[in-house]
Amino acid sequence: MAETPARPGDSAVRVALLYPELLGTYGDRGNARVLVQRLAWRGLPAELVEAPWGEPAPASCDVYVLGGGEDSPQASAAAALIAEGAVHRAVEGGAAVLGICAGFQILGRSFFGPDGEARDGLGLIDCTTARRAQPRIVGEILVEPDPGTRLPALSGYENHAGLTDLGPSASPLGRVEVGVGNGDGTEGARQGRAVGTYLHGPVLARNPALADLMLSWIVGDLQPLDDAEVTELREERRRFVAAEQARRAARRPRRWRRGWPPYRRTMSSTARPSAANFSV
Amino acid sequence: MERTASLKALKAVVTGIGAVSRLTGRGGGAVIGGKVALTLDKGALPKLAAGRSLYLVSGTNGKTTTTALLAAALGTAGPVVTNMTGANLKPGLVSALAGDLESPVAVLEVDEAALVQVLVDTTASVVVLLNLSRDQLDRYGEVRLAAQKWRTSLGARPEIHVVANCDDPLVVWAARAAGSVTWVSTGQRWRIDATSCPNCGGRIIWAGDEWKCSCGLARPEPEIEGGGDDVVVGPRSFPVQLQLPGRCNAANAAMAVAAARMAGVDPESALAAMVGIANVAGRYREVNIGPASARLLLAKNPAGWNEILDFLAAPPAGVVVAVNARGPDGYDTSWLWDVDFERLEGRPVIAAGERALDVAVRLRYAGVPHEVCADALVAARRLPPGKVELVANYTAFQTVLGAVGG
């Protein structure tokens, strides 16, 4: 991933929160808040730009954030963003974009609408969301990031029905340790400066290193912040997930533990370290 | 004769189990008694509800309070049975009804997801629909789906009269399917869950209180207006003098007034009966916790929290924010980021509850200095002596109530 700053440092970094009325069901507006605040704490000027649905999307922002949403608002948001083209142009010009859940699906090539039919996405990430999980996937999720990202474990909460298949131009954000993610053992996607993930929490509140990684694409290297409180939260979530895993393993009937029928919640085939040994 | 006998048996089960539950310290017993009764007789709810005039109250916020206000209002006309403790799933309803076989009128708070089945099981006279907003997304799924389910089940029961909040597009869309509706304006301000039209997905245009979509779904003309100092019914205005604070409770009172009119109780008598209510299932209660004079407040979701932020005591009153994430609360704490905690600035604040750390991280980004203390009661003692607002979500609130004796 490119580490060079895309912009000179004196003007304020503008973070656009796209259509929060449509794509803001799960507290995902918090991601924009986190990005702006982490710059402000470092003395770097930053501005949160709310982009309401029905008005032109802001053209010259540095980071665009799309949150989760329900099927019908998701389709409306995608249609409006495709018609506008502002996000495409900004990303071509070096802006970063973060899509959560429905927002992640919108960044891909296609997703299914409220009627089950395929809808066009923005095509900023080479992925499609065509499969539907039954029942809906709801629960804590823990992800081991791709080593190339140099990120610590990603912690979040997932709540989605869509499953996402990545194409060759996109790389997964990481590998699912606990939870489901994309549905094939991977979680999320990145392609250039576009990042998609199923993690709520909000994801940047629980994973400040991911926030700083995205900000570094815009402003270059960043000095560390005091993240003691969030580190404690991450530790607590890791213990919770480990305890839940242990409870589930204890409850599982013997024949399931032998691997048949294959009712495993995660689908990665490689050896999986348990959450308890997993550093956050 | 046989019917009476089986009802008495249900009553015996519920009261007996309830007593055992209380004796063994397992809680009030309203739920467990109902569960056992339902195990013994799956048809307990329709049997217990039969022959009564049934008023059901549902929605995301204000159910328990509105139920209490409506029960008080209808109580002026005769005996009323109600489930005022917030046990709003089927077992709670069974337990309440079995505890009182005589009262001809029942006012029942019903969980918004359980309403559909309760409408199948009973012959309700009036259904009061308060509001729908994001809450416990991991349990209820998305809020639009809840509205769709209400809409379908009300469409199938045209004989039911609905009292509905005309300021909530999701409620209006659901209630439009009903046979007859009394529209009530409540001055509701939580709008973010209804910017896209539940009917067509288009954009809802707001202008002041009015809202409309190009598909034709629009704010109905209210028959009763509330949410302020008065309840306005046609040309007449009735002052609202509640002990309960806030715009939201004035709105709840207006909804209760509208429902009480269906039973022939006039607004004046209804409102007079509501004045006596000082707390509801422990909510709004004031208790001394060490040097703190604490008011207990329940806030389970962003819409509820934002109402409470409007009437929270000014600084230097301290605030305890207690949040759990058990089943009844929803396991996902992301909703904390939809609450304007920035508004707590200037007050001493302690993050509490089993998810105190999630609260702490949220407060840090809100720029609100705070301490962390998981035990909400210990937290209240730690704040500067005097007025403390203890705001908790569902199970955190139950823990506090259990500890202060409620």
Tell me the per-residue pLDDT of A199-232, one tens digit each, with 9 for 90 and over: 999 999 999 999 999 999 999 999 999 999 999 9
* Cβ atoms A112, A162 nearer than 8 A: yes
A130 touches chain B (CB under 8 A): no
pLDDT, tens digit, 9 for 90 and up, residues A128-149:
999 999 898 999 999 999 999 9
Higher pLDDT, A270 or B371: B371
Enclosing H/E stretch for A84:
helix A71-84
Could you give the 3-state DSSP secondary structure of residue A100?
Answer: strand
Tell me how close the Cα of B98 comes to any Cα of chain A, in angstroms.
36
Q: Which of A28-32, B2-6, B41-45, B249-253 has the lowest mean pLDDT?
A: B2-6
Q: Which helix (H) or strand (E) holds B260?
A: helix B246-262
Contact state of A26 with B335 under an 8 Å Cβ cutoff: yes
* Exposed / middle / buried, residue B264 (Cβ in 10 Å: 0-12, 13-18, 19+): exposed
Among A55-59, A248-252, B100-104, B344-348, whose mean pLDDT is lowest? Answer: A248-252
**Chain centroid, CA B8 distance in Å:** 30
Rounded mean pLDDT, B236-259: 96
Contact A159 B138 (CB under 8 A): yes
Helix (H) or strand (E) segment spanning residue B158: none
For the stretch B319-340, pLDDT in tens is 999 999 998 898 999 999 999 9
Is position A101 annotated as part of the catalytic site?
yes
Tokens 């549902």 sit at which residue? B58
A231 SS3 class: helix
* Residue range A156-161: mean pLDDT, rounded: 95
Domains along chain B with CATH numbers:
2-274 (3.40.1190.10), 286-404 (3.90.190.20)
Please, which residues 140-199 of chain B have a Cβ atom closer than 8 Å to chain A?
141-145, 192-193, 195-196
Q: How close B66 comes to chain A (CA, Å)?
A: 26
pLDDT at B143: 80
Choosing among B135, B196, B333, which should be mutated to test the A contact, i.e. which has the most A CBs within 10 A?
Answer: B196
Please tell me which of the candidates B144, B192, B334 has its beta carbon nearest to residue A26. Answer: B334
- CB hemisphere CA count around A257 (13 angstroms): 9
A73 lies within 8 A of chain B by CB: yes
Give the C-alpha separation, A71 to A112, whole Å.
8
**B369 touching A (Cβ < 8 Å):** no
Dihedral sign (CA B339, B345, B347, B348): positive
Choose the weakest-confidence range: A245-249, B114-118, B237-241.
Answer: A245-249
The answer to whether the beta carbons of residues B380 and B290 sit under 8 Å apart is yes
Contacts of A24 in chain B (CB under 8 A): 192, 338
**Interchain proximity A27–B144, CB inside 8 Å:** no
Of A197-201, A234-238, B1-5, B362-366, the least confident: B1-5
Identity of the amino acid at B305: W
Q: What average pLDDT does this structure show over B234-239?
A: 95
Peptide bond preceding B302: is omega within 30 degrees of 0, i.e. cis? no
For A168-190, what is the mean pLDDT?
97
| Mean pLDDT, residues B222-236 taken together | 95
* Structure tokens given for A265: 């919640």
- Take residue B62 and report the two structure tokens written for it: 């204000």
Distance CA B215, CA B161 (A): 25
Residue B99 CA to residue B10 CA, distance in Å, equals 9
Q: What pLDDT shows up at residue A254? A: 56
pLDDT band at B100 (very low <50, low <70, confident <90, very high): very high
Q: What are phi and psi of A189, to 5 degrees?
A: -160, 155
pLDDT digits (tens, 9 = 90+) for B7-17: 888 888 888 77
Q: Which residues of B touch A159 (CB under 8 A)?
A: 137-138, 332
Tell me, yes or no, if A127 is annotated catalytic.
no
Give yes or no for B30 touching A (CB within 8 A).
no
Rounded to two decimals, what is the model's pTM?
0.88
Q: Are strands A63-66 and A13-18 parallel, antiparallel or unpaired?
A: parallel
In chain B, the percentage of residues whose pLDDT exceeds 70 is: 95
pLDDT in tens, A4-39: 444 555 689 999 999 998 998 789 999 999 999 999
Tell me which CATH code domain A13-229 carries.
3.40.50.880
Which of the residues A155, A157, A204, A206 would you substitute to probe the B interface, choosing the one with the greatest number of B C-beta atoms within 10 Å?
A157
Digit-coded pLDDT (tens) for A36-70: 999 999 999 999 999 999 899 999 999 999 999 98
What Rg value do the Cα atoms of chain A yield, rounded? Answer: 18
Q: Which pLDDT tens digit goes with each residue over A89-110?
A: 999 999 999 999 999 999 999 9
| pLDDT (average), residues B176-197 | 88
Residue-level pLDDT at A10: 62
Q: Please give the angle made by the CA atoms of A20, A23 and A24, to the nearest 5 degrees.
A: 65
Position B28 scores a pLDDT of 62
Residues 319-338 of chain B with CB under 8 A from chain A are 331-338
d(CA A223, CA A44): 11
Q: Is A157 helix (H, G, I), strand (E, B) or coil?
A: strand
The pLDDT score that the predictor gives to residue A260 is 44
More confident residue, B189 or A248: A248
Predicted confidence band at A280 (pLDDT cuts at 50, 70, 90)? very low
Confidence of residue B24 (pLDDT cuts 50, 70, 90): low
Q: What is the pairing mode between strands B386-392 and B318-322? A: parallel
Q: What is the distance between the alpha carbons of residues B3 and B121, in angstroms, rounded to a whole number? A: 17
What pLDDT is attached to residue A265? 45
Residues within 8 A of B (CB atoms), A 142-201 only: 157, 159, 200-201
Say if residue A120's pLDDT is above 50.
yes
* High-pLDDT (> 70) share of chain A, %: 86
Is B22:B28 a contact under the CB 8 Å cutoff? yes
Q: Which of B368, B382, B387, B391 is nearest to B320 (CA)?
A: B391
Quick one: A223 exposed, middle or buried, by C-beta within 10 A (0-12, 13-18, 19+)?
exposed
Q: Are A111 and A162 spatial neighbours (Cβ–Cβ below 8 Å)?
A: yes
Tell me the pLDDT tens digit for each residue of B350-382: 999 999 999 999 999 999 999 999 999 999 999
What is the helix, strand, coil percentage profile of chain B, to 5? 40, 20, 40
CB contact under 8 A, A230 and B361: yes
pLDDT surpassing 60 at residue A269: no
The Cα of A21 is separated from the nearest Cα of chain B by a number of Å equal to: 5
Residue A166, SS3 per DSSP: strand
Q: A243 at the B interface (CB within 8 A)?
A: no
Are B195 and A22 a contacting pair at CB < 8 A? yes
CB of B371 within 8 Å of a chain A CB? The answer is no
Residue B384 banded pLDDT, cuts 50, 70, 90: very high
**Alpha carbons B300 and B297: distance in angstroms, whole number:** 10
Strands (E) across B114-160 are located at: 126-129
pLDDT band at B395 (very low <50, low <70, confident <90, very high): very high
Q: Return the percentage of chain A with pLDDT > 90, whole number.
A: 76
Under 8 Å between Cβ of B250 and B226: yes
Q: pLDDT per residue over B271-312, tens digit each?
A: 999 999 999 999 999 999 999 999 999 999 998 999 999 999
Contact B182, B262 (CB under 8 A): yes
Average pLDDT over chain A reads 88
For residue A261, the model assigns a pLDDT of 44
**Residue A29 vs residues A45, A51, A74, B143, B301: alpha-carbon distances, Å:** 19, 12, 15, 18, 15
Active site residue: A61, A88, A101, A160, which one?
A101
Whether omega for the bond prior to residue A202 falls within 30 degrees of 0, making it cis, is yes
